[in-house]
Structure 1
Amino acid sequence: MATLPDFEAWAIFARVASRGSFGRAAEDLGLSKSTVSKAVSRLEARIGAPLFHRTTRRLSLTEAGQQAVAGAERILGAGEEAEAAAIAQSAAPRGTVRLAAPMSFGLSHVAPLLPEFFAAYPDVSVDMELGDHQVDLIAGGFDVALRIAALGDSRLKARRLCRVRRLLVGAPAYFDRAGRPAHPRDLAGHACLGYSNLASRDRWRFLGPDGEEATLTPGGPVRTNNADALTPCLLAGLGVAVQPEFIVFEDLAAGRLEAVMPDWSPPPIALNLVTPPGALRPPRVSALIEFLARRLAAAQWAREAEA
């Protein structure tokens, strides 16, 4: 008599493969590490071949594992969708949501919202990873990510929340001393503070009022991969920088910084919520997505950017 495939073990194998670790997979699944290891060993005994190369420092797929992982991921995804569909109508949101967000934006605009979210959804917890690198949602096991960019084509699902303006800013005292640029060519004589975590890290690109384009190579006393780190130098009058409005809007309103060259702007970007492919998601994920979409789109800098 034929026996059914070990669906649970294949789903566990898919999570181990995506996380690259028995321990991390166990944490994601709420299982013990030994349970996860035994499930994979059970599969290996059943198919008569190892699925992973194991060393003390690294875990990698064998040839058999590479051939099996796509099918195992489909089993895991189908199971998650079936379970989500079954509980979506009746269960209150509960469980952990894994969220990725940019460092500065996450600290200043997402973390302050979490107490309100937890008050509304006391059975939901958020595992938030902050960083300015772009994470792999599927391999990293993330439910949702906030991305500030002009998104390209992808198998991920994206929801645009609002436009994000990028402004050329500096301290009024700096502009009084060095002059206020009206055109990108005027920046040749200015100290340009650079943000390096961009595809075009060594070039500033601006679009003009009639569709013309200008680029330049910025040069100045500092370059960093975190935009917040430029604020002290800007306030001290050390130069100019292209900054997203959500970082500088309070300093602009208080007069500590000034935006110049209004007829020219960097190419447009937006704040997006990005999720893995699939039509269904657990109620806890939907709850966080709708909450963030509603609250972030209502921020002052977001309303002004959309006006």
Structure 2
Amino acid sequence: MDRLTEMEAFATVVDQGGFTDAAKKMGISKSAVSKHVSALEARLGARLLNRTTRRVSPTEIGLAYYDRARRVLNDAGEADALVTSMQSAPSGLLRISVATDFGVNLLSPILGDFLLEYPDITVNMVLNNRYVELISEGFDMAIRVGDLEDSSLRARKLTETSKRMIGSPSYFQKYGRPMKIDDLNDHKLLHYSNQANGNVWKVTAPSGEKRQVRSNGWLTVNDGQSLLNAAIAGLGIAYLPSFLYAEAMRNGQVEEAIPGLPVETLGIYAVYPPGRFTQPKVRAFIDFLARQFMEKGPDNW
């Protein structure tokens, strides 16, 4: 006799308080439920139920067995649901957190293609420049650039972006070009206002030494596109990812400030909460992004 069916019959009798109601719950005869429970007790060599004419209740051993059996049955139910979910078409609301720069410049232009490919999915994309807690804030996933701080999250690397200091030809003609890191102290710098460490650039010297450039800057703003626009306008030097400045550099609107410096490369990741399986809607979007960015980065944008 099937062990899982025996466990289900016993647990249902405990839940329902008797064989008659258990039989109705399982959709089988009362005698079949009784046979399953008797077979279980015989196999275990223990009495699991106290039977009287008025009620049925678990013995001390039966109560301990019930707790474990119910867990096993719940896990079995989740396993069945997992298979059903994995085979079902992706659907439902997908909440995504993404930095404003990346979302506006790279995700917004391709979201339409994703929605046309998966019409049963609706997307709520939240653009902000802060680190969100995925689970507590109700997000299904996030796109993050740079080092991953939370190692408990699952992550898939989509591509990479380089990061350079850039300025316009007109700026360098007017103020000169910095030849080394220390020269930046005499230049007009353009900063992100949402940096955790303030107006500080972490730069790698040709020797490999990690340097910090501290300056109040001429302009501070919480938007990368605005910093790029300011750099193009000749207002100063900005330190930006290539997915923002690549087109402007191809067009000659900006140039690298100190070409001899090592180029910093940052990973771009899709991150999502840990779990035994990935929701189809999340898996579909991550696979879509992987295809979109397959031939992108670190400088090819």
Change (3 A) 1:77 1:141: farther
Scaled by the length of structure 2, the TM-score of the pair is 0.70
- The answer on whether the counterparts of 1:93 and 1:287 sit within 8 Å (CA) in structure 2 is yes
1:148-297 aligned at under 5 Å gives the runs 148-265=145-262, 267-297=264-294
Alignment of 1:32-181 (within 5 A): 83-89=81-87, 91-181=88-178
Q: Is the 8 A contact 1:205 1:267 kept in 2?
A: no
Instruction: Confirm or deny: 8 A CA contact 1:166 1:265 kept in the other structure.
Output: no
Cα pair 2:202 2:210 within 8 Å, conserved: yes
C-alpha contact (below 8 Å) 1:193/1:222 kept by paired residues: yes
- RMSD over aligned Cα atoms: 2.5
Structure 1 length-normalised TM: 0.69
**Equivalent residue pairs, number:** 232
* Amino acid paired to 1:273: A
> What is the SS of the residue equivalent to 1:161?
strand
Q: In 2, distance between residues paired with 1:254 and 1:108?
A: 17
Unaligned runs of 5+ in 1: 5-75
User: Which moved further from structure 2: 170-179 or 146-155?
Assistant: 146-155
Please name the residue that 2:37 is paired with: none
The SS at the match of 1:281 is coil
CA distance in 2, matches of 1:226, 1:77: 47
- Mark the structure with the bigger radius of gyration: 2
Partner of 1:18: none
Instruction: Please tell me the residue identity of whatever aligns with 2:111.
Output: L
CA spacing shift, 1:203–1:258, aligned 2, 3 Å: same
Contact 1:171-1:237 within 8 A present in 2 as well = yes
Could you tell me how far 1:80 is from its partner in structure 2? Answer: 7.5
Deviating runs (4+, > 4 A) in structure 1? 1-4, 76-82
Secondary structure, aligned partner of 1:251: helix
Q: Tell me if the contact between 1:297 and 1:303 (Cα under 8 Å) persists in the aligned partners.
A: no
Contact 1:84/1:281 (<8 A) preserved: no
Residue 269 of structure 1: how far off its partner (Å): 2.2
Measured at CA, do residues 138 and 80 of structure 1 come closer, stay the same or move farther in structure 2, by a change above 3 Å? farther
Q: Decide whether aligned partners of structure 1 residues 180 and 139 sit closer, same or farther in structure 2, where only a CA change above 3 A counts.
A: same
Aligned-residue sequence identity (percent) comes to: 34
Shift of 1:169: 0.5
Return the letter of the residue paired with 2:153.
L
Determine the C-alpha separation between the residues in 1 that align with 2:76 and 2:202: 44
